[in-house]
Amino acid sequence: MGGKLVRVGTTYIPVTDVERSSEWYVKNLEATLNYKDKDKAILNFANQSFFLVHSKKNERANFIDKYGKECFSITFEVDGFQALEALHHDFKQIGVKVGEIENRGHAGKNFIFFDLDGNQFDVWSELSPAFKEKLI
């Protein structure tokens, strides 16, 4: 896979309470906390760096599509449907707000989940082929 851009290095997520949110990400997503001050926290998980940025109330990484539906801007991948079901179950057990597992008419299945500030994320049961090759 060629191209000028090699990978996504960092994603920025707006949060209203850096302390509380960083604890949530560490506990629920098993993120590694690398740095934290009153304005931001730097976390690593899902092979990427995430900055939790102290933002105004009601700021979210979500967007509204042309049909008026609020959408996620990030999809995480797991390796297969069983992994998706297990993660969905685990999230429900620990109190993470999740949607139902969906068939969206393409390969694999998905579900959405939310952080403390209502940032919406997607999980897909199909691991990207380029990434899967790196795991072998």
Give the pLDDT of residue 6: 78
Q: How far is CA 75 from CA 20, 40, 72, in A?
A: 23, 22, 8
pLDDT at 84 over 80: yes
Question: Does the pLDDT at position 136 exceed 70?
Answer: no
| Alpha-carbon torsion (116, 90, 86, 50), positive or negative | positive
Residue 24 phi/psi, 5° resolution? Answer: -65, -45
> What pLDDT is recorded for position 17?
98
pTM of the model: 0.89
According to DSSP H, which parts of the chain are helical? 18-29, 81-94, 129-135
